Amino acid sequence: MTKIKIGILGATGMVGQMLVSLLEGHPWFEVTSLAASDKSAGRKYEEVMENRWSLAGGVPEYARDIKLEECKPGLDCSLVLSGLDPSAALKIEEDFARAGYGVSSNAKSHRMDADVPLLMPEINPGHIGLIDIQRKKRGWKGFIVTDPNCTTMGMSLALKPLDDSFGVEKVMVTTLQALSGAGYPGVPSIDIVDNVIPYINDEEDKVEEEPLKILGELKGSSIKKAKMVISASCNRVAVKYGHTECISVKLAKKTDVDGLVDAFERFKPLKGLGLPSAPARPIVVLRQENRPQPKLDANLEKGMASIIGRIRRCSILDYKFVLLSHNMVRGAAGAAILNAELLKVKGYLDG
Ligand code: NAP
């Protein structure tokens, strides 16, 4: 099979390097272009990443000698995966879509645009239909699809089976978010060691708004948003990878703890579709009373699942639980790749 040529925008960032790492040996995709800001362009990837690569095993061999390019159409690929800073993503991603490229983005810039899918293959594969509306409206040959904020991602995976089985009315979530979620170089070490920072710019709005679009329904040419209300409190903590979320839910239908466990464990909507990055278990329930923990559990299902534990009654809403998801894998790079795989299966990468 001829592999589809992929470019990575923002290849030098935290998400960009995770994309470079996860795409090594991908059965359908081949990375042919790496791009970043003009200060990096023209230099070999390995040289630019000498003091920035932060993943185990070093820069994959296939990427070492690739020369970084500027983020401008003309890259030798048909699909770009974007790990761009939002300030740059807004215009650059549109330039690529206009020039005929598919764009699978991690940036927030286009997530809430009415004609752009905020895609999660397990939850809303039908939202991919917005691409046709987007192309018609904007006159683009290419298109943009986005994946959610890293905190939204894990929580939405958990809310979907609960909403389908019991109807979710209200959600309260308090997060403990990893440092890698802030990009590179991120939060200064002197600010975070021995500390918790109870504010992350823009984060609470994203966590309260994005799930309503993700869990909504495509009706005609627009998404009818889900009806639940969400209240979020987001905190930065001194953890490298893995966002922890303490979630309470109010449900429309009565159930018990076993009902929640059963709904989570039965949730396997992508079974049989053959997407290489899809986890066998999108939700993993742990029974130990002191789990999930970022250090022990963030990499379960290769970082692509929501890990849930401590499911119990809530004396204010109905039930509460602790959720962990890998912010750089399922919360970013892995999600963009999974979306690209869905695009291929649905025929959007056929040229
Ligand atoms: P990062 O480490 O700061 O990387 C940003 C990347 O954007 C770098 O490659 C940088 O290139 C490039 N860039 C910045 N300005 C540019 C410009 N004007 N033109 C071209 N390239 C430019 O950020 P990150 O954590 O990887 O996040 C990347 C995106 O993913 C952001 O939109 C972020 O909100 C989103 N996201 C991040 C996470 C996470 O857990 N980290 C999760 C979900 C979503 P240079 O190195 O050349 O400056």
Of 85, 150, 175, best ligand 1 pocket probe by most atoms within 8 Å of the beta carbon: 85
d(CA 32, CA 23): 11
178: tokens are: 């990893």
Name the segment(s) of the chain with CATH classification 3.30.360.10.
Answer: 150-326
The span from the CA of 269 to the CA of 161, in Å, is 10
- Specify whether 26 is catalytic: no
Pocket test for ligand 1, best of 8, 12, 15 (most atoms within 8 A of CB): 15
Residues of CATH 3.40.50.720 domain(s) within the chain?
Answer: 4-149+332-345
CA of 1 relative to ligand 1 center, distance in Å: 32
Q: How many CB atoms lie within 10 A of CB 125?
A: 18
Tens of pLDDT, residue by residue over 102-121, are: 999 999 999 999 999 999 99
Give the list of residues 6+ apart from residue 230 with CB closer than 8 angstroms, or none.
Answer: 170, 171, 172, 173, 207, 208, 211, 212
- Is the pLDDT confidence value at 22 over 80? yes
Distant-in-sequence, close-in-space partners of 296: CB < 8 Å, separation ≥ 6: none
Question: Which region holds residue 190: left if phi is over 0, alpha if psi is between -120 and 50, else beta?
Answer: alpha
Which protein residue has the closest C-alpha to ligand 1 atom 9? 10
Ligand 1 center–CA 286 separation, angstroms: 33
Atom of ligand 1 nearest to the CA of 107: 32
Return the CATH architecture of domain 4-149+332-345: 3-Layer(aba) Sandwich (3.40)
Residue 36 CA, ligand 1 centroid: distance in Å: 9
Q: Which atom of ligand 1 is nearest to the CA of 38?
A: 47
Backbone angles phi, psi at 61, to 5 degrees: -55, -40
Residue 350: per-residue pLDDT:
80
pLDDT at 351 over 80: no
CA end-to-end span of the chain: 15
Residue 285: name the closest of 307, 254, 258, 312 by CA: 307
The 10s digit of each residue's pLDDT in 74-99 is 999 999 999 999 999 999 999 999 99
Stated length of the chain: 351
How confident is the model over 263-298, as pLDDT tens digits?
A: 999 999 999 999 999 999 999 999 999 999 999 999
Give the integer Cα–Cα distance in Å for 177 and 235: 6
Report CA(78)–ligand 1 centroid distance (Å): 21
What average pLDDT does the segment 216-243 reach? 97
Element (H, E) at 249: strand 243-251
The C-alpha atoms of residue 183 and residue 111 are separated, in whole angstroms, by: 19
**What is the spatial distance between Cα 258 and Cα 266, in angstroms, rounded to a whole number?**
12
Q: Output the ligand 1 site: residues, CB below 6 A.
A: 10-16, 36-37, 39-40, 71, 83-86, 88-89, 106-108, 150, 180-181, 183-184, 327-328, 331-332
Flag whether pLDDT at 135 surpasses 80.
yes
The percent of residues in the chain predicted with pLDDT above 70, rounded, is 100
β-strands 243-251, 168-177: how paired? antiparallel
CA distances from 58 to 20, 61, 107, 166 (A): 11, 9, 25, 46
Q: In the structure, what pLDDT confidence band is assigned to residue 125 with cuts at 50, 70 and 90? A: very high
Q: What is the pLDDT, as a whole number, of residue 244?
A: 98
C-beta separation of 215 from 132 below 8 A: no
Mean pLDDT of the residues in the chain: 97
Picking from 301, 274, 269, the residue whose alpha carbon sits closest to that of residue 285 is 301
Mean pLDDT of 214-241: 97
**Domain 150-326 CATH (choose: 1.10.240.10, 3.40.1260.10, 3.30.360.10, 3.30.70.2860):** 3.30.360.10
Calculate mean pLDDT across residues 296-318: 98
- Ligand 1 atom nearest to 181, measured from its CA: 40
Ligand 1 closest atom vs CA 84: 7
Is 150 designated active site? yes
Q: Which of 71, 77, 234, 243 is catalytic?
A: 243
Q: Alpha-carbon distance 314 to 143, whole Å?
A: 43
pLDDT, one tens digit per residue, over 315-350 is: 999 999 999 999 999 999 999 999 999 999 999 998
